[in-house]
């Protein structure tokens, strides 16, 4: 079985830089929010591929001696996050394999929708899988391809997979970047500033990684594009028929860093615009606006600007919360949220509060936040969400829970309001979500908010499971 649609990831690659692995390390650091479970880098010194993969955060995985060992002018890296039981080192990327023409490594962000079908086919004809990750399918397709050139093999392999992929490969003398024809997951191209480090290229999930290493943003890797970086420079190929684009809207709403430039727009500015629209659609008499930090901050700024209400930080976030902590005794209420957020009485006492967040998933955190605001003296709590209700899971590489766990899949807004115990609750409208492109919805995926999936999930077992969830919803 695969670790299906339960992965969030970052990819980062550098070609033609004397300290490639070091640059990739810094890029992965900037992309830590996209995956916190494992991290890995594979570099090429021209003779061999050198690999280091480990469970943990980027800062813990790569120490000075490890980076020193990752020699050579090209390197790719990966951060991975998964919440299922399949959180093993063997699923950590980049994957490295040896095939008839030498070693190759791969790093993948996204999820394939036909990986199970392809895996069964490959196993029947003798391929032996080492992981439960869908990404390994791509490597086996490349290794078993009858094409002679590397590019031929990559094109053939990618023509067989469906779904979401933003990919990086390296071989001894090349780096390849590829993005699926619908462009679900982001991928950007950058270049080191002229004269500084020869003609080095960078490819990364988000532009915030380029900023850190002082590379210039060139453009997006286009949906359906395959770029090869080699001794002769950069070459772009578009071997597949054009498809309607389905760029992930949720990257704007929650997932990308606000300081990234995504699909040609500032994430921060888009989030502010969503907050403004939220205020236009769902204004309410109140004394102040407060964000749920960090993800709700830009939308709350927009909401406050539009509504003319003061913005206050009624919730303060502890930025040093790690992934593990000692479970408290039952007697400490709401501990899980309290360790991360604290409500300030000095700001909230006696106030009518609009609390702005980007989304509600299960509703359990939101419920605790409302309680914390009330406990700190808020007189009224009006929850405002800068996206429409999250009603469906993502199959394209964002770790949303199953349909049955999404509170909005089976509850009305009024039922959710009761559950989170707010005085009022309102979400951004579906049309309002597209305010930043003047209502033009083409080119985006919004399946988790609309249930309209641009590519259907083809794997037998899971399709059946999803039908079961749907059947349960009918009751």
Q: What is the C-alpha separation between 410 and 473, in angstroms, rounded?
A: 6
410 part of the interface to ligand 5GP, by CB under 6 A: no
Would you say 175 or 360 has its CB closer to Mg ion? 360
Contacts by residues 152-160 (CB-CB < 8 Å, ≥ 24 positions apart): 154/178, 154/226, 155/226, 155/237, 155/239, 158/226, 158/240, 159/239, 159/240, 160/118
Q: How far apart are the first and last CA of the chain?
A: 29
Query: What is the smallest separation between the CB atom of 92 and ligand 5GP, expressed in angstroms?
Result: 19
Query: What is the smallest separation between the CB atom of 367 and ligand 5GP, expressed in angstroms?
Result: 7
- With CB atoms as reference, the residue minimizing the distance to ligand SF4 is 394
DSSP three-state, residue 196: coil
366 part of the interface to ligand 5GP, by CB under 6 A: yes
365 binds, among ligand SF4, ligand 5GP, Mg ion, none (CB under 5 to 8 A by kind): ligand 5GP
7 part of the interface to ligand 5GP, by CB under 6 A: no
Pairing of strands 315-317, 444-445: unpaired
106 part of the interface to ligand SF4, by CB under 6 A: no
199: which strand partners? 197
Q: What is the C-alpha separation between 293 and 267, in angstroms, rounded?
A: 16
Q: How is residue 378 written in tokens?
A: 């808020």
99: enclosing H helix or E strand: strand 95-99
Contact residue for ligand 5GP among 359, 386, 392, 409 (CB under 6 A): 359
Identify whether 9 is a catalytic site residue: yes
Chain centroid to CA 79: 10
392 part of the interface to ligand 5GP, by CB under 6 A: no
Longest CA–CA span in the chain (Å) reads 73
352 binds, among ligand SF4, Mg ion, ligand 5GP, none (CB under 5 to 8 A by kind): none
| Contact stretch for ligand 5GP (CB under 6 A) within 89-97, 164-172, 308-316, 397-405 | 397-405
260 part of the interface to ligand 5GP, by CB under 6 A: no
Site residues for ligand SF4, 368-397, by CB under 6 A, read 394, 396
* List of residues contacting Mg ion (CB under 5 A): 295
| Contact stretch for ligand 5GP (CB under 6 A) within 47-55, 95-103, 393-401, 427-435 | 393-401
Give rounded-to-5 percent helix, strand, coil for the chain: 35, 25, 40
Q: Which residues are catalytic?
A: 9
Residues that bind ligand 5GP (CB under 6 A): 254, 292, 295, 357-366, 398-400
């Amino acid at each position: 079985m695969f670790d299906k649609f339960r992965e969030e990831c970052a990819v980062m690659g550098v070609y033609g830089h004397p300290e490639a692995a070091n640059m990739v390390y810094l890029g992965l650091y900037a992309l830590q929010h996209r995956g916190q479970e494992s991290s890995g880098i594979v570099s090429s010194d021209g003779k061999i591929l050198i690999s280091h993969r480990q469970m943990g955060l980027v800062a813990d995985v790569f120490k000075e001696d490890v980076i020193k060992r990752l020699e050579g002018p090209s390197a790719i890296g990966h951060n991975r996050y998964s919440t299922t039981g399949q959180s093993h080192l063997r699923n950590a990327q980049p994957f490295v394999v040896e095939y008839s023409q030498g070693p190759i490594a791969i790093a993948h962000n996204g999820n394939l929708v036909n990986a199970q079908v392809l895996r069964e086919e490959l196993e029947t004809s003798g391929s032996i899988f080492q992981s439960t990750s869908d990404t390994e399918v791509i490597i086996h397709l490349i290794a078993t391809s009858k094409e002679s050139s590397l590019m031929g093999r990559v094109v053939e392999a990618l023509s067989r997979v469906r779904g979401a992929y933003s990919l990086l490969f390296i071989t001894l003398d090349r780096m390849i970047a590829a993005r699926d024809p619908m462009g679900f997951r982001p991928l950007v191209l950058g270049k080191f500033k002229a004269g500084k480090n020869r003609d080095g290229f960078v490819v990364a999930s988000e532009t915030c990684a380029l900023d850190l290493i002082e590379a210039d943003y060139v453009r997006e890797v286009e949906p359906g594009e395959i770029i090869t970086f080699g001794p002769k420079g950069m070459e772009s190929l578009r071997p597949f028929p054009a498809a309607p684009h389905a760029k992930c809207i949720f990257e704007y709403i929650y997932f990308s860093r606000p300081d990234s430039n995504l699909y040609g727009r500032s994430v921060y500015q888009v989030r502010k615009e969503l907050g403004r629209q939220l205020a236009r659609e769902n204004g309410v008499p109140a004394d102040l606006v407060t964000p749920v930090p960090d993800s709700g901050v830009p939308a709350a700024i927009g909401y406050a600007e539009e509504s003319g209400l003061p913005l206050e930080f009624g919730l303060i976030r502890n930025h040093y919360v790690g992934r593990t902590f000692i479970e408290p005794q039952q007697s400490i209420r709401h501990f899980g949220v309290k360790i991360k957020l604290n409500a300030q009485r000095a700001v909230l006492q006696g106030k009518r509060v609009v609390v702005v967040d980007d989304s509600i998933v299960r509703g359990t955190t939101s419920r605790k936040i409302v309680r914390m605001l009330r406990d700190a003296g808020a007189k009224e709590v009006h929850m405002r969400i800068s996206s429409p209700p999250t009603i469906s899971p993502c199959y394209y590489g964002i770790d949303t829970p199953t349909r049955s766990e999404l509170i909005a899949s089976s509850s009305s807004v009024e039922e959710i309001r009761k559950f989170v115990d707010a005085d009022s609750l309102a979400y951004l409208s579906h049309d309002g979500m597209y305010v930043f492109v003047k209502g033009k919805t083409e080119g985006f995926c919004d399946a988790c908010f609309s249930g309209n999936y641009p590519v259907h999930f083809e794997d037998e077992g899971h399709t059946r499971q999803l039908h079961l969830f749907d059947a349960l919803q009918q009751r």
